[in-house]
Structure 1
Amino acid sequence: MRNVLKDLVTGVLFSSNACTLSTAFKERFDKVNGSRLYFLHKEIFTMTQGICSVSTYFTKLRDLLVEYDSILLPPPAVEYFEQLEYQRLLQFLMGLSDSFEQARSQIPLMSTLPPINNAYAMVVQDESRRMITGANYGNAGNIEPTALFSAQSGIKQRRNYSLEFDFVT
C-alpha cells in the first residue's frame, strides 16, 4: 500500500475484487488526451530526415509512434495491423532525404514488404556504404549522361571533320 496515493487508498482497500478496482481506475484515469494525440499525429506525418542521420531520424519517428500507440490503441485485427505497418513504412521512406531516392523507390516494389525495422536496416547499410566509399548519390539520377561525359577532364572538344576536300589546282 506504500505505492498508492493517499487519495486512492480507500478505493483500493474497500474494493470487492481486482476486476472492479481495475474497471474503476480505467474509467477514472484512462482518458485520451485529444490535443496530445493531435500533436503526435502532426509530428509523425510532417517529420523528415533533414540533416540528421538515418539512425537519429528513425529513432525520433519510432519514439513518436510508440507514444501514439500507447495513447490510442488500435482494434485487435490482423489486417489493421498490417495496414498500420505499411503506413508507417511509407512514412519512414517519405521522410528520408533525397539521397535515398533509390531506397524510396525500390522498397515498395518488393514482393513482400519488409517491416519498418528491416527497411531501416537496409537504409542504414546503404548509408554506411556511402560513408565508407564517400559516395553521395543525391541528385545523380537527374544528370544527363552526356554532361558527365563532357565534364571529365582531359576530354577535348571534337573538331568538325567532313568528307569534303579542297583541292588546290
Structure 2
Amino acid sequence: MQQGGLISKAARTTPFNLVVSFPAGASNATAKGNLFLDDDELPEMNLGSGYSTYVDFYATVSQGRVKVWSEVQEGKFALDKGWVVEKVSVLGLDGSGGTSALEVDGNPVTSVSSIELSTSEQKYLEEAEDGEKTKSVMVDVNGLSLPVGKNFAVSWKMGIKA
C-alpha cells in the first residue's frame, strides 16, 4: 500500500509499505499477494514493457526464519517511476525476544545501515484452548529502499526467549 495524499496523483508518488499477515502465532506458514501498476489511463489491465509492471509478493515463516520476496514482470515502468518499498510489516508471528540476522538481497544488514528492525507483541482478549492468553509478534523493517521494479528478498531469524 502507498501512503496517503490529498489527491490520488500525489499518493501515487509515495513509497510503498508491504504488509504481510500470517495466522496469529504462526511458526510455519506462507502468504502471497500481487500488485499491478500502470499510469491509470488505460481502461484494460495490460502488461507491457514501459507502461505497466506486475509484481508477485511471497512470504514464508518456517523453523524460526521469516522471508519476504518479490518476483517482478516488466519492471521497467516501476523503475522509471522510481517507486520503492520503504517498509515491510509482518504480523502474526510466533516468537519473542527480538530478531536477528537481517538480510536484504542476501547481504547482512549492519548496525551502520539506515535499516531498522523492530518487534512488538500483540495480545488477544480471547484465551487459547489450553487457557493461556494468545499472543503473536509483529515485525517492522523500516528504512528500506527496494525498487518495486526489481526482485528483492528480505529475511531474518525470530528470537526465542529462554
TM range (shorter): under 0.3
Q: Which has the larger radius of gyration?
A: 1
Higher relative contact order (CA 8 A, sep 6+): 2
Higher strand share: 2
Q: TM-score, normalised by structure 1?
A: 0.25
How does the TM-score come out when normalised to structure 2?
0.26
